Structure 1
Amino acid sequence: MISNLEMSVYNVDARCLDLVAPDYFNNSIYQRIIKMLAVLLGVTFVTLVVYIWRYLSKIYSFWEERGVPYRKPLPFLGNSWDLLSRQVPLNEYHKRFYNSFPDVPYYGIYDYSKPVLLLKDVDLVERVLIKDFQHFNDRGTGAGVDEQANPLDMNLFNMTGNKWRAMRKKLSPLFTTGKLRHMVPPMKTLGDGLVHLLEKNTSQVDLRDMLQRYAMDVIATVAFGMNVSILEETEESEFRRIGKQSFAFDFPRYLRFAFSTVFPKLAKKLKISQNDPEVTKYFSKVIRETLAHRRETGMERNDFIQLFVTLQQKGSIEFEGDPLEDGYLKSEDDAKNVETFALTDDAIVGQAFVFLMAGFEATSITMMYLCYELAVNPEIQKRVRKEVVNAVRNRGVLDYDSLKEMPYYGQCVQEVTRLHTFVGFLFRQCKKDYTFPGTSLSIKAGQDVIIPTIGIHQDPAHYENPEKFDPDRFAPDVSRKKCTYLAFGDGPRVCIAMRFALTEIKLCVARILLDYSITLHPKTKLPLVMDKSNFTDIPKDPIYFILTKMTDSL
């Protein structure tokens, strides 16, 4: 028999056990669950790390498996850290890579996780740009463009295949000799206005600012019939502010550009535009309003807008010009049957937009560098100025034909575009599987190819003492290998506006030389240091000039 005391103790112990046991067992289960989750998370993490490592190893072994020289990439970033961190401008980036692979026909880089082939051998470059163009007829930059969401991005630069051929064929007559002749007189008038403004301050001139104003006025007035008067404005107008913004390669724009290049399909799905939204909105409105005004009033002018209107109404423009000079506008592709498509307002605005943007910065920077090289090479400047003055005296006017009578001056312009290449690389994308002749290298359709023009232009194998400004390199009796001069590209996709740009550059600087000699101001910081935040080679600090009035001015 159990005593009452013992029974009481038993009951107390039982109640205590009932109270304690659930917590004990619950804690035990909780701890086991925590341990299981920790193990599961650890296994998941290790599996993920192994997967990423194997994935990156596969991607970053691409060039090694093909026997292509390359530089070891960083995980996820590839070889793009120097650009992402803004340590070097894009031109300098390509120049460094080019020089770090001596005595090879090609090399590879990783644009983040994307393998890209770069060509050094100019014979292979000629294959890509000209001889085997059918394998490389696209730039590959249009893959990430949503034509419906961002119609202005689908311009001649980004277009591909038959649509590019058809548009190129339609637009080529805009840039013939005959059309250029009509555009030179208003360029000359604007040049007179530029010189008149320069008279107000000749002792310390920031020519980049003045030349940028001139370039904006030319592309707006001569090409698009807009009276914006940038040269004369005392306060920065919206047109000029947004025009400058169009070429500001800030960090957000770099990210958009990089994302569209590396992940074109995803960029297209996300409707990411390569252009700044404010720039796109503003200039689209300006161009559309100009088109509407021409249609409503029936006004006609010798400019691009009129040619666009005519092209939309009639479907074609007469190819008026010099067959020899205008041969670069035609190619064997013109003989092929190409698809036709409606030339909508979006298509017109897209083409006009890219011409407008290209005309702002490239020409003004090239003119600035031309003035700089003439200033630091006074003997060359003296020879050029004599040629300019004589040609204008012979014809009585500075016009398209007098520019043709300045061969040495033309060599100077070619040399400055070689030495100060505005965009130091060309994009191409392989569209059909291809094996490079004389090599064991084969690439598949979809492979991106870059031609580092900045490296080729400054390669001692092609140009002796390449950092020297020497216009005689382009003398008629000097032979050069094909594709060693690529300032405007080459082959069927050569820059369609090449001669328009060259004519504008020649005429503007010639107009200055008619009245002035150019020297550097002591305030200019030498050597020139490039601005790392820019897409192209633009000096970080202003280049100041002294303009001296010449007694033999016309």
Structure 2
Amino acid sequence: MGLYFNSVLTELVIAVLTLLAVAYVYFTRNFRTWEKKGIPFLKPIPFFGNYKDLILVRKTTGVLLKDIYDKAADKPYIGVYAFDQPALVVRDTELIKKVLVKDFSAFVDRNFTPDKKLDPLAHRGLFSVSGQKWRQLRMKLTPTFTSGKMKRMFSLVDECGKQLVTYVEKHTEDGVLEVKDAMARFTTDVISTCAFGIEGDALTSDNSVFRAMLKRIFDLTYVRGLALMTAFFAPALASALKLQFVDDLTMNWIRKTVWSTVEYREKNNVVRKDFLDMLMQIRSKGQVEDDDNKEVSQKSSENFVFEGDDFVGQCFVFLTAGFETSSTTITFALYELSFHSEIQTRAREEIQSVLQKYDGHLTYEGLQEMTYVGKVVSETLRKYPVLPFLDRKAVMPYTLPESNIQLEKGSVVLIPVMGIHYDSKFYPDPERFDPERFSEERKRARPNYTYLPFGEGPRNCIGDRMGLMQSKVGLVHILANYEVKSCQGTPFPIVFDPRNSLLGTKDGIPLRFTRIKQVPAA
């Protein structure tokens, strides 16, 4: 019996060691990529590459890439490895311009690739589609985010802003409110009404289905956080490990919600002039009608299909991208303003002045006139870029400027937005919150491609106008009615959630709200 046990144990040990040896070879097989090309690189660790702190949930992606950016302070770029996958982290602003704009044809695609079977809605959304399909979708969807379309949707967003004020009034306890949750409820209602034409009820009910579903997407476990991270940096590994970002229940709910709404509108000739209406125009007519309601051609792009998950995927992207980015931006803005009363006072005075001009009502035109509020939002996105890096993948061989170094087709390029935003060469004393960095004079003095919260070039964020509009509306309604200060539970310094590839707080952000009397109600 003893001999048999020893034999089995020996075989087990050999099997484990063999498996480890195979895994070691697999996860180190590309570790000489940058050395062979003569590109400076950070020494990788087997199984982790240079992403150990990310994989072990010690740092969030933006902070990790910022640290890499800082380590390469005298270099235009530096090579790193995500697990075993090589990626080039670019620092030089001229090279960033080439990747994002000048040589865009060589870097059309993102590396971000959700599995088409496990995450079909994310896979087919505009953010992740590639090649000719991306070009067609981008062309079709661009007219949905013109200033004219935003103006039409403004009243829907403004109504949610009014409900936000009511929510704050009802849910402060001893003057304290958990801001992260409140702003998430606000953007949930904005997105549900603008994208789906459905009342989300996140600000009026604790039983909001939209709120519950978005929490299922963004309340990340380690495994789902790993799924999101690998989709950005090692998509083949994500597929091999069957890592799913959005569960089937949530995806099926989104499909059902979209198609039931489409069916109802088609049967009853309902027109709301929201995002879903515009998608329905693309589906039926091939394009969106212009801002003057003129008839459009029935002609559609050759081989362009806009049915099934291709259609629902765009709703999914609008839902997820619009929700997380804006709620996080408003949260961070209020957090900073709670520590900077002079900035908050100046923003409020501008808000009150513009509201008085428009008889106490917030209008689309009035929002554009609130230039200092715009600076506050810009500085918030500088210090807290929600997507703290940009990823691109070479679709053809590319020779790095002023060198004979060639990147092969499929090579990944990363642009560390957070690192650039915290570079003291561009933003002196970068930890300081200073909206005046975005005065016209100081913006002109900075090099281009040093402010990238929405990316740049043909593949920049298509919904930046919508994101800025709802962020400003939420902020204006709060500041017109409340003074916001930090309280005993307010975290300092702020702690980012290491499970999330986007930039968000690990815990809640409680702040103290004091009602302002005798001011125009926004």
Q: Which TM-score applies when normalising by structure 1?
A: 0.84
Q: SS where residue 205 of structure 1 aligns?
A: strand
Partner of 2:147: 177
2:376 to 399, 412, 415: 412
Quote how far apart the aligned CAs of 1:151 are. Answer: 5.0
Partner of 2:200: 228
Aligned partners of 1:307 and 1:276: how far apart in 2? Answer: 27
Aligned partners of 1:148 and 1:197: how far apart in 2? Answer: 37
Quote how far apart the aligned CAs of 1:320 are. Answer: 2.4
Query: Is 2:90–2:96's contact at 8 Å kept on the other side of the alignment?
Result: yes
Q: 1:403 to 1:131 in 2, by over 3 A?
A: same
Partner of 1:6: none
Larger Rg over CA atoms: 1
Partner of 1:77: 48
- 1:87-236 to structure 2, matched below 5 A, reads 87-142=58-113, 145-146=115-116, 150=120, 152-200=122-170, 201=172, 203-233=175-205, 235-236=206-207
Q: Residue deviations 1:243-292, cap 9 Å, x none?
A: 11212332222343455556645766898654333322222221222112
Q: 1:87 to 1:358 in 2, by over 3 A?
A: same
Quote how far apart the aligned CAs of 1:192 are. Answer: 1.2
Quote how far apart the aligned CAs of 1:393 are. Answer: 1.4
Q: Which amino acid aligns with 2:194?
A: V
Q: SS where residue 377 of structure 2 aligns?
A: helix
Q: Which amino acid aligns with 1:73?
A: P
Partner of 2:362: 398
1:251 to 222, 227, 234: 222
Q: Residue deviations 1:280-311, cap 9 Å, x none?
A: 22222212221121122221112111111122
1:427 is aligned to 2:427? no
Identity of aligned residues (%): 34
Quote how far apart the aligned CAs of 1:100 are. Answer: 1.8
Partner of 2:503: 537
Q: Which amino acid aligns with 1:176?
A: T
Partner of 2:3: none
Q: Which TM-score applies when normalising by structure 2?
A: 0.89
Aligned partners of 2:385 and 2:24: how far apart in 1? Answer: 39
Q: 1:127 to 1:385 in 2, by over 3 A?
A: same
Aligned partners of 2:119 and 2:215: how far apart in 1? Answer: 24
Quote how far apart the aligned CAs of 1:535 are. Answer: 3.1
Aligned partners of 1:46 and 1:512: how far apart in 2? Answer: 60
Query: Is 1:208–1:368's contact at 8 Å kept on the other side of the alignment?
Result: yes
Moved over 4 A (4+): 44-58, 258-274
- Which range is displaced more, 182-191 or 247-256? 247-256
Root-mean-square deviation over aligned CA pairs: 2.7
Partner of 1:504: 470
1:287 is aligned to 2:250? no
Q: Which amino acid aligns with 1:221?
A: T
1:59 is aligned to 2:30? yes
Q: 1:338 to 1:61 in 2, by over 3 A?
A: farther
Quote how far apart the aligned CAs of 1:112 are. Answer: 0.6
Number of residues paired by the alignment? Answer: 499
Aligned partners of 2:181 and 2:133: how far apart in 1? Answer: 38
Query: Is 1:248–1:534's contact at 8 Å kept on the other side of the alignment?
Result: no
1:448 is aligned to 2:418? no
1:463 is aligned to 2:427? yes
Aligned partners of 2:240 and 2:500: how far apart in 1? Answer: 28
1:342 is aligned to 2:305? yes
1:377 to 326, 336, 340: 340
Query: Is 1:153–1:275's contact at 8 Å kept on the other side of the alignment?
Result: no
Query: Is 1:122–1:484's contact at 8 Å kept on the other side of the alignment?
Result: yes
Query: Is 1:520–1:546's contact at 8 Å kept on the other side of the alignment?
Result: yes
Partner of 1:19: none
Query: Structure 2: where are the runs of 5+ without partners?
Result: 1-6, 293-299
Query: Structure 1: where are the runs of 5+ without partners?
Result: 1-33, 322-336
Query: Is 2:281–2:289's contact at 8 Å kept on the other side of the alignment?
Result: no
Query: Is 1:152–1:346's contact at 8 Å kept on the other side of the alignment?
Result: no
Q: SS where residue 107 of structure 1 aligns?
A: strand
